[in-house]
Amino acid sequence: MNAEQPSVLTATATAAKSMQSIVQERYGSSPERVLRLASVPLPAIGRGEVLVRVRAASVDRGTWHLMAGLPYPVRAAGFGLRRPKYANPGRALAGTVEAVGADVAGLAPGDEVYGVGAATFAEYARSRADKLTAKPANLTFAEAATVPISGLTALQAVRDHGQVREGRRVLVIGASGGVGSFAVQVAKAFGAEVTAVCGAGAAKAALVRSLGADEVVDHTAVDPTDGRVRYDVILDTGGNRPLSRLRRALTATGRLVIVGGETDGRWLGGTDRQIRAQLLSPFVGQRLGSFVASENAADLTVLRELVEAGRILPAVDRTFPLAETPAAIRHLLDGRTCGKVAVTV
């Protein structure tokens, strides 16, 4: 399609005119209070964008941050200062291409895709073409929808920031969560020896073992950062341990990558630990820090290849229908999940 051509909608989308979508008019921390199902117009797409018929979306901790507008810097990052900019906080998706805008190459109506879009808790969602790629052939739509946000974060944490390679000893804190469950598998795919930390409960331990962890630690019974074992890389995807304790469990030149940790702070919301790590890093032998994941088709392709090769697979805890999206988010907030939560459309 050349730059002069307009967006092309298929007959299905044109006939629909409207769609079912979760909508949110105000920020709030309770999904039951701020999210509802409604009929809304289909989203319009522009140059370089794609309209996707959503088959499934997924929930992660970032979903809550966008819904609540907390910590406040989330709002300043382009998601709306006083009220949500987008119809709903969904971002990950899997589905079929319904229409493509000008300057979109390599995607056509009918293609099965997965990736990152806007307001994905809906029958249709728009996405930038450079945030989509072909869906892994061996996954259902629900499984595929759980990969993009958490999988990209895990891949970049392990490969780029942890620089994990063959023989490295890696500690993954929060291993039964969304990012953690992918991080264990990606680290193993890169040849690491992985110790996985999760909460109490046979289900969480069994999940993490099934992902290939060499050792599983219940953080309620054992402190993995007591310094008795030192790791080349620590990926903290869900803890709140002080930097001093995390550093104690690192080798002298080890790497700490913080991609999680929550507090109730409205301004920093737990990110103060990441900030302090980045400020301290230049003055010590260890590399300490955090990052914001890059949403791009190239890394989605890497994940697809790993999935199709059987090196990583999403661990789906539960699926909810679109109308029960608030319940899906509540399930995550209650801490009952092992792996990922999907929303089917």
Please give the average per-residue pLDDT across 101-105, as a whole number: 96
Q: Pick from 50, 53, 39, 42: which is nearest to 14 by CA?
A: 42
- The verdict on residue 22 lying in a domain is yes
- The verdict on residue 75 lying in a domain is yes
Please give the average per-residue pLDDT across 317-328, as a whole number: 97
Q: Provide the percentage of residues in the chain whose pLDDT is more than 70.
A: 90
Query: In whole angstroms, what is the distance from residue 183 CA to residue 150 CA?
Result: 9
- The verdict on residue 109 lying in a domain is yes
Question: Does 184 share its domain with 91?
Answer: no
- The verdict on residue 2 lying in a domain is no
Question: Does 94 share its domain with 218?
Answer: no
Query: In whole angstroms, what is the distance from residue 55 CA to residue 37 CA?
Result: 16
pLDDT at 153 > cutoff 90: yes
Domain that holds residue 109: 8-146+315-344
Q: What is the CATH number of the domain that holds 107?
A: 3.90.180.10
What pLDDT is attached to residue 71? Answer: 67
Residue 275 pLDDT class (50, 70, 90 cuts)? confident
What pLDDT is attached to residue 6? Answer: 40
Q: Pick from 160, 189, 170, 163: which is nearest to 298 by CA?
A: 160
The per-residue pLDDT for range 216-233, each reduced to its tens digit, is: 999 888 899 999 999 999
Question: Does 130 share its domain with 190?
Answer: no
Question: Does 199 share its domain with 215?
Answer: yes
Please give the average per-residue pLDDT across 40-57, as a whole number: 97
Amino acid at 210: S
- The verdict on residue 310 lying in a domain is no
Query: In whole angstroms, what is the distance from residue 2 CA to residue 6 CA?
Result: 9
pLDDT at 185 > cutoff 80: yes
Question: Does 12 share its domain with 103?
Answer: yes
3-state secondary structure of 339: coil
Kindly report the average pLDDT of the chain as a whole number: 90
What pLDDT is attached to residue 9? Answer: 53
- The verdict on residue 303 lying in a domain is no
Question: Does 180 share its domain with 227?
Answer: yes
Q: Please tell me the total count of domains within the chain.
A: 2
Query: Which burial class, exposed, middle or buried, applies to 271 when counting CB atoms under 10 A from its CB (0-12, 13-18, 19+)?
Result: middle
Please give the average per-residue pLDDT across 236-249, as a whole number: 89
Question: Does 129 share its domain with 230?
Answer: no
pTM recorded for the entire structure: 0.91
Query: In whole angstroms, what is the distance from residue 223 CA to residue 315 CA?
Result: 25
Domain stop point among 273, 290, 307: 290
The residue assigned the tokens 């999680």 is 260
- The verdict on residue 295 lying in a domain is no
pLDDT at 267 > cutoff 60: no
Q: What is the CATH number of the domain that holds 242?
A: 3.40.50.720
Residue 2 pLDDT class (50, 70, 90 cuts)? very low
Question: Does 119 share its domain with 173?
Answer: no
